[in-house]
Amino acid sequence: MGVLFLLAAISPVVLMAADYKSVTIQHSAKAGTVEMNIFNLLADRLIEAGLKDVKLTPEGTPASDQADHLLICLGMPQNHTEISACFKKQHVPPLTDLEPGAEGFLLKKEEKQNLLIAAGIDQRGCLYAVGEILRQAVIRNGKMHFPDHLEICTAPAFEVRGTQVGQSDVSINIAKVRPWTDKDVQRAAMDYALAGANTFQVSKGLTTTFLKSYGLMSQKDFGPNTAGGKVPKEWEGKESIGREGYICPSVPAARHYMIDQCEKEFSGPESYDFVKFFGGDGGGCECDRCKPYGFTFIMLCEDLAAVIHKYHPETRIYFTNQKFDNADDLAILAYLQEKPRTWLWAWGYGPGSDANSWQPGHRQTHRMDLFHYPGFGPYNMYPKELLHQLPPQQKLVYYNEITHWKYAQHALVQMWPRADRDGNLPPHWCNDILQRRPDQYLTQVFNRRSWFTSPRNYYRIFNDLLPYGVGDITHSDGYHDHFQQWMWQRLLWAPRTPLDDIIHEYCTTIFGPEAASLMAKALLLAEESIIEKPGTPLPEKTCVKECYDLVKQAGKLIPENVMKIDWLWCMYMQKATLDRYTQLSVTRQMELQKRIEKDIADAIRDKTTLKAIDEALTRFDLQETVEMKSLYQEAKVAGEQSNANFGVRNDGFFTLQHDFIGLGWTKRQLERARAAKGKERDELLRMIVDYENPGEGGFYDNLGTANIAPHVVFGYPYDHGQPYVTGMLDEGNRLSQRAMHYTQNEKQGVTLHYDNLDQHAAYKLRVTLVRPWYQDRYAPMMNQKSESIYANDIPIAKNVELPFKMSDFFTFDIPAGSTATGELTIRFEKASDVAVGDRVSVEQWRNAGGWGTLVSEVWLIRKK
């Protein structure tokens, strides 16, 4: 169902003998405002789920003695006389920080007894007891099913358990959802709180006042070098990709400005439990005065902390070292090790922090010394080292990015990682992470902020990372990461819970016990669907249709009254439906491509090419099938409901139409062939029929990520510097034309080497070239447009301009004698004015995706 924690059950309904028509929640007369808010939350959720008779009364009020009435005594034992008496009567030991533990609770219901004791060790313990009650209860037809015998004594495993809550700009601008009200934001946050969260970043709707009203903790972010707007030019920092609005902390006036901003931000009465000084995506200031930036940054943080602690001495402060380099880390560690730094609570590990990761947003240098032995893999090497180096008074806390399904800290990797500033790439035993790519067709439909589910991947990440920290306040960029965020809170509570149990609890909690097993299978299939599987293109993935069928079948098992207020099942239904729609769309395009290839092949044989070209050019207007129309309508209805009920919808519904395979290239090739004659026409048509074939004695290399390029000896797949966005390249390019190898500011360009060539034969070189469009904020620093090509050391093409967005072919003869030894080296060379200038500007160019040489495909063809 779509209302979290309304209908929840761990055990199947058939095992729950107790049916209750009415519930009384009995609270202590000493209960404060926070406790009363928590008690009312339980009452509201039970009523919302369909239980009509729910009362909230102080202890001492006579309760019904009806067999179908449940009395819930909820509160802290020291304040609740009835709970205290039950503890004494049943010889229940007092709740302590060891048993069950901080923030813990006890739920106890005896068989055949219509009394449930829900005792929290503190206010938050009461809140989490409510979450467990709602997970245990199942409400159907106005009755609540509850286990006859229940005894749960539990507490969270981690001290800090939090996240961010809000809508993404993709939801607002692309998915066209209604803006969330404060009530919506609070609802989403309280769903996570009932799962175990205790900390939230303050935002619209999530004020410190609201959070404290439920005993929850708050976090405020502050960017020490983030001015947030225009600053005097002499103050501007050298941000890593050239963005404005960042100051240079080495400029005294700019530094004082940020201290003044901090004073304005924190001098008021509003107090936060945590303040995070974030390094940010930019990683600070690149200028020479700031080096090592880590030391400049931490010294500024110390002064900012003094400002905050002047007004709020209990606030715990931590920082994140996002995109800092090795020298920065070492400088901060030296500072911390010099003497106790009591102002600092923790070192924060966020996106771009990991010195052993080449995931997008990676650092410019890496800790290669930590790679000597794999251990449990690359994820936990750096946190383990940090914990070893940190003084005992500082903790390690995480700010994990679990919100994007591609191009992110722990997400699927769109392109193979580029070499860092020192020329380093990760060792081969990191490949299980780096070769996990998004499906190349689904990635064209779904934004990185689209709804997704990735249980296996993030379960592994949690277990690799969290043993070294005190908890996590995750980065969330919307509501599309719902499962990951919920799973994170449950694992922060009980990290050894098996993945299958986590998924089952999630599905039972949200969709009800009847639909849970189907949805649990669907979630795993949804993750399988979004991952590229070599040798199994999207049309051949059976998991896509299986997932769609399971979610649709599960929807029929969710009660009608529940479905009316649902949004979460609707979101899973939309994703499954749009995945299936895309699968069918790609299938139709592939079928058309194959038909054209066959018809053209037959026409070449029969010498009827002109007629075949004309017929082929009439077939490109593909229409939706009946099934596709039905799927589209299903997604539309589900999206309208999820938007109406909770302001969420899958943005992919509005971005379904794409040239997934490069039919635009095929059409252009046909048009070129129609205008050509004789051998030229046949040669153009043969490329359609047998695209990759270099002919007898020739070689073909596809230089994109994870493609077969055996002759490449230098260069690496192009990662665009930033997330791949629509418009960077024309969709009319074939997939092999859209991906390429490149080099940056290295002296040597992309290089291929051939041996065992025919020493007596002549050869020609054909290459596919294309250059991308850059977003406005990057374009001014991108002057590269051309490159030169050498055969051995002989130039065969000087300053060839790469076509803009839509690829094309270039063919060059290999000079006579170049292959006389049976070997040949093809080398690309960057233009002389590319990647030159001061160190900072070159770094910014490089970090933003600057290329020196760039090539998509290479054919070495032996002439006949």
Q: pLDDT tens digit string along 659-714?
A: 999 999 999 999 999 999 999 999 999 999 999 999 999 999 999 877 889 999 99
Alpha carbon 698 to chain centroid distance? 42
Name the CATH superfamily housing domain 693-864.
Galactose-binding domain-like (2.60.120.260)
- Give the residue among 651, 647, 650 at the shortest CA–CA distance from 186: 647
Confidence bin at 722 (pLDDT 50/70/90): low
What are the pLDDT digits (tens) for 567-604? Answer: 999 999 999 999 999 999 999 999 999 999 999 999 99
What are the pLDDT digits (tens) for 455-469? Answer: 999 999 999 999 999
Q: Distance (Å, rounded) from C-alpha 381 to C-alpha 349?
A: 13
Q: Taking a C-beta distance cutoff of 8 angstroms, is the pair 860, 694 a contact? A: yes
Query: Cβ–Cβ contacts within 10 Å for residue 58, how many?
Result: 11
Residue 63 pLDDT? 79
Q: Distance (Å, rounded) from C-alpha 226 to C-alpha 249?
A: 10
Q: Distance (Å, rounded) from C-alpha 157 to C-alpha 104?
A: 10
- Give the residue among 658, 828, 819, 676 at the shortest CA–CA distance from 743: 828
Torsional sign, CA 512, 517, 522, 523? positive
Residue 565 token pair: 């207020």
Q: Residue 398: what are its φ and ψ, rounded to 5°? A: -100, 150
Task: Assign 281 to helix, strand or coil.
Answer: coil
Q: Distance (Å, rounded) from C-alpha 79 to C-alpha 467?
A: 36
Given a cut of 80, whether residue 11 has pLDDT beyond it is no
Task: Assign 249 to helix, strand or coil.
Answer: coil
Residues 6+ away with beta carbon under 8 Å from 840: 238, 286, 287, 288
Q: Distance (Å, rounded) from C-alpha 829 to C-alpha 601?
A: 38
Residue 550 token pair: 């399971």
Alpha carbon 472 to chain centroid distance? 16
Residue 721 pLDDT? 66
If one compares 577 and 775, the residue with the highest pLDDT of the two is 577
Fold of 13-154: Chitobiase; domain 2 (3.30.379)
Mean per-residue pLDDT of the chain: 94
What are the pLDDT digits (tens) for 30-69? Answer: 999 999 999 999 999 999 999 999 999 999 888 788 889 9
Q: Taking a C-beta distance cutoff of 8 angstroms, is the pair 318, 274 a contact? A: yes
Query: Cβ–Cβ contacts within 10 Å for residue 782, how many?
Result: 18
Residue 9 pLDDT? 31
Buried b (16+ CB within 10 A) or exposed e, 4-31: bbbbbbbeeeeebebbbbbbbbbbbeeb
- Give the residue among 407, 42, 845, 573 at the shortest CA–CA distance from 416: 407
Q: Strand order in 699-702's β-sheet? A: 699-702, 857-862, 763-769, 808-813
Task: Assign 366 to helix, strand or coil.
Answer: coil
| Domain 160-419+461-494: which CATH number of 3.30.450.20, 3.20.20.80, 1.20.140.10, 3.40.50.720 | 3.20.20.80
Task: Assign 22 to helix, strand or coil.
Answer: strand
Q: Strand order in 712-714's β-sheet? A: 712-714, 751-754, 824-830, 786-791, 794-801
Q: Distance (Å, rounded) from C-alpha 436 to C-alpha 402?
A: 16
Alpha carbon 246 to chain centroid distance? 25
- Identify the DSSP state of 654: G
**What interhelical angle do 123-136 and 182-195 show, nearest 10?**
90
Burial of 743 (0-12, 13-18, 19+ CB in 10 A): buried
Element housing 108 (H / E): strand 105-109
If one compares 664 and 5, the residue with the highest pLDDT of the two is 664
Residue 561 pLDDT? 87
Element housing 439 (H / E): none
What are the pLDDT digits (tens) for 169-227? Answer: 999 999 999 999 999 999 999 999 999 999 999 999 999 999 999 999 999 999 999 99
Residues 6+ away with beta carbon under 8 Å from 373: none
Averaged pLDDT, 511-537: 97
- The lowest-confidence range among 5-19, 122-136, 396-410, 469-483 is 5-19
Burial of 695 (0-12, 13-18, 19+ CB in 10 A): middle
What does the domain layout of the chain look like in residue ranges? Answer: 13-154, 160-419+461-494, 693-864
Torsional sign, CA 377, 383, 389, 392? negative
Q: Residue 358: what are its φ and ψ, rounded to 5°? A: -105, 20
Given a cut of 90, whether residue 362 has pLDDT beyond it is no
Residue 680 token pair: 């030229």
Confidence bin at 755 (pLDDT 50/70/90): very high
Q: Let me know the angle formed at the C-alpha of 842 by 838 and 844, rounded to the nearest 5 degrees.
A: 120
